[in-house]
Amino acid sequence: MSVFSDDLAITIPDERFDEERFVTIGMDAFDRVLVVVYTWRGNEIRLISARQATRRERNQYEEG
């Protein structure tokens, strides 16, 4: 399972930039809660960054 296939993932738009970006908090295949920033290029995801979630972000994910 990836963050993008996590049914409980939270995705919000990141409007700080000119290009359309999204931030997703979700669980990966190793049960880690990750924060992934990405944009769409055509039909493909272009990964901008990925990191482990902070405690606050993890709580936000767990609270749904």
Give residue 18's pLDDT band: very low, low, confident or very high (50, 70, 90).
confident
pLDDT score recorded for residue 5: 94
Domain that holds residue 13: 3-63
pLDDT score recorded for residue 26: 98
What's the pTM? 0.87
Number of domains in the chain: 1
38-63 pLDDT, tens digit each: 999 999 999 999 999 999 999 999 99
Cβ neighbours for 20, distance < 8 A, ≥ 6 positions apart? 13, 39, 40
CB 28 within 8 A of CB 16: no
pLDDT score recorded for residue 17: 82
